[in-house]
Amino acid sequence: MTLEGTYAGTLDRITEGIAVLLIEVDGETVAERRVPAEDLPGEAAAGDVCALAFEDGTLVDVEASPERTAERRRRLRERFEALSERLDGAEEDG
């Protein structure tokens, strides 16, 4: 898949100086790219949501999005709490 334009993405992990970015379209992961960690903004960390700009399939810009990261973490925390409540209720019933 040749990427062109700007996409949302998540910094999945950094291992041995290589960052793994998951590229998303409509909330679905459609591609994965590995780039040198030094190409990322200094404040970027695993789990961060970023704007990823591509030209002819080459990553040309990465911009961290603290607001989108905070929103995603809030939604994940709410989902986890809801699941925990369901599990606690199931244990009490059983």
Share of the chain above pLDDT 70, in %: 96
Q: Quick: pLDDT tens for 31-70.
A: 999 999 999 988 889 999 999 999 998 999 999 998 998 9
Q: Which of 44, 64, 43, 42 is nearest to 52 (CA)?
A: 64
So what's the pLDDT on residue 43? 82
Residue with tokens 């199931």: 90
So what's the pLDDT on residue 54? 95
Local confidence band at 91 (pLDDT 50, 70, 90 cut-offs): low
Where exactly are the structural domains of the chain? 5-93
**CATH for the stretch 5-93:** 2.40.50.140
Q: To the nearest whole number, what is the mean pLDDT of the chain?
A: 90
So what's the pLDDT on residue 94? 56
Q: What is the DSSP string of 33-85?
A: EEEEGGGS-TT--TT-EEEEEEETTEEEEEEE-HHHHHHHHHHHHHHHHHHHH
Six-digit token pair at 25? 């379209």
Q: How far apart are CA 1 and CA 69, in angstroms?
A: 26
In this prediction the pTM is 0.77
